[in-house]
Structure 1
């Protein structure tokens, strides 16, 4: 039976503009960065690192927003709640997202910090090292929540990155309560191991309280959450508290556990990895689009794998190929 909800997914996340530049390993080393990681930086460091970067491409990003962009490309109905400032990058972000058909009406902040940006260094092996200035995005407060919008979505999707700031954490906690009151499902992506390390107790409390219906994690995040060194042990431990657990493992593929039933798919073959930025975001997009379409768990995982493959074969987190056509080629 088709859903009567206005949206398939409404997401809350960081509203960020990505600044992407090629870099060699020497720059990563000279800056003292950990290749493939994400760190938070202040305005001064953002200015200094930007000056050290080579020629860059600017495009809207943000984990949850990337997922919605992918879902919109797959024909799903989506809405976004996030904070930008009244500045040029804020206008860029808003235009980029709404032009894809994603509903985004959160009022821009008139004062305070500028729109967030993520400085991304992409090394020849396709790894991305992210340096994020959260700016206005972390100031998303309860007053910016749209209760009606949340109630009109089958799934509320939350980005773990936004759990770091007090204001946005309180807003997301209230959003969970609003979704629950409306009888909607809540999906959560852990985002990064540093997020899990900082908020493990919160996340474990939320899973134990059954506040999360769908949990997305990569292998490293899952191990950090479970405080285990073995993937299978961690998988079983966390799956016991989450109705649907989806774990990605890079070239090892992905696995989903739902109601005690396990489904696995292999990674989709790819000739060259260009840039891994947004791989997890687009995997979630394909998976959630499959759920909205009523597909089997194996098909949902495959859709996620196809979308992840497409995104790592290009520069940037927003698909430059026809995702709907690529999924159709794979699944019919």
Structure 2
């Protein structure tokens, strides 16, 4: 196996998040399903943006958030995602490089604008996302650097990539390269409605060995196995030849590997502000520990700690160094 240059390489949608607090009436008037992610076209995105109040603009994207979180822990991360050579695209590239992440995907000089996700946050911290994929849809196999993939301990893929056909092909090609190099492939299910769209295909990825590590939240797991019973979903998950980490909000997280189980409580917080990126940052902490060879329960606690930081402010990128947070955390000492 070649020497690795990166702990984790993330492949995902390069998105700029536009975040605004709203009340539930706003969602009802806009006919939006609370807590869901829906794809919108550019005209719909502009109309919704015009209706929003004051906004916070920050780089996002599920896998990009995870890799930025990994870098904040001190890990070596790389990211592949497509932007347009426009103002938002330049901002995304600047932000992810400033986070210490290797990012060299060439920007598109033509075609749709850089992707935007309009994130509407209600007072209970729930986020409703409306995503214009834009340039993301033009991610192709040509954007995959085989040397970078082969030199990464883990290839991390987001379920959202399964929507654009060209990106789906890039997803499969990158996974093939990773496995040929003896590396592991991780997948996050991303969103319950993403699972609804692609449930059978995601199960096939798991059962055909394309994916070695799975990240999901409780709702996504229910959707994957088409059951409202969490214990029944766990029984099904145990049958897969896979390592899986399932987040359960304030109930903490559970890690399953066959009959092996590790359950950890949620890390304490002062105030819930915005759940955007909680799952992304859980994966960041977990993968940080995993690539360092740490025990699975500690990996899960690192994930829970990162998630606790991100849900106490707007935006899905850490506001403090997660490595420093880990050093000072009493929560991690509870092991």
TM-score (norm 2): 0.96
By how many angstroms is 1:179 displaced?
0.8
By how many angstroms is 1:294 displaced?
1.6
CA distance in 1, matches of 2:152, 2:295: 21
Q: Which residue is 1:306 aligned to?
A: 305
Q: Which residue is 2:211 aligned to?
A: 212
Give the secondary structure class of the aligned counterpart of 1:309. helix
CA distance in 1, matches of 2:6, 2:217: 26
Matched, 1:326 2:325: yes
- What does the per-residue CA deviation read over 1:90-145, in whole Å, with 9 as the maximum and x for residues that have no partner? 00000000111111101101111000000111111111111100000121011111
CA distance in 2, matches of 1:197, 1:25: 24
Matched, 1:253 2:243: no
Q: Which residue is 1:119 aligned to?
A: 118
By how many angstroms is 1:271 displaced?
2.5
- Contact 1:28-1:34 within 8 A present in 2 as well: yes
- Contact 1:282-1:311 within 8 A present in 2 as well: yes
How do residues 88-237 of structure 1 correspond to structure 2 at under 5 angstroms? 88-237=87-236
CA distance in 1, matches of 2:240, 2:302: 25
CA distance in 1, matches of 2:258, 2:153: 20
CA distance in 2, matches of 1:195, 1:213: 19
CA RMSD of aligned residues (A): 1.2
Moved more, 194-203 or 87-96: 194-203
Give the secondary structure class of the aligned counterpart of 1:320. coil
By how many angstroms is 1:289 displaced?
0.4
CA distance in 2, matches of 1:174, 1:292: 22
Give the secondary structure class of the aligned counterpart of 1:130. strand
CA distance in 2, matches of 1:158, 1:93: 19
CA distance in 2, matches of 1:153, 1:136: 25
CA distance in 2, matches of 1:101, 1:16: 18
Moved more, 251-260 or 86-95: 251-260
Give the secondary structure class of the aligned counterpart of 1:109. coil
Q: Which residue is 1:288 aligned to?
A: 287
By how many angstroms is 1:64 displaced?
0.3
TM-score (norm 1): 0.97
- Contact 1:210-1:241 within 8 A present in 2 as well: no
CA distance in 1, matches of 2:316, 2:194: 20
By how many angstroms is 1:53 displaced?
0.4
CA distance in 2, matches of 1:189, 1:285: 11
CA distance in 2, matches of 1:317, 1:34: 21
CA distance in 1, matches of 2:314, 2:25: 20
- What does the per-residue CA deviation read over 1:290-322, in whole Å, with 9 as the maximum and x for residues that have no partner? 112221111111011110001001111011122
Give the secondary structure class of the aligned counterpart of 1:18. strand
- Contact 1:66-1:318 within 8 A present in 2 as well: yes
CA distance in 1, matches of 2:242, 2:32: 37
4+ runs deviating over 6 angstroms: none
- Contact 1:215-1:242 within 8 A present in 2 as well: no
Q: Which residue is 1:50 aligned to?
A: 49
CA distance in 2, matches of 1:227, 1:123: 28
Q: Which residue is 1:84 aligned to?
A: 83
- What does the per-residue CA deviation read over 1:41-63, in whole Å, with 9 as the maximum and x for residues that have no partner? 00000110010000111110000
Residue-pair matches, total: 330
CA distance in 1, matches of 2:155, 2:295: 21
Give the secondary structure class of the aligned counterpart of 2:228. coil
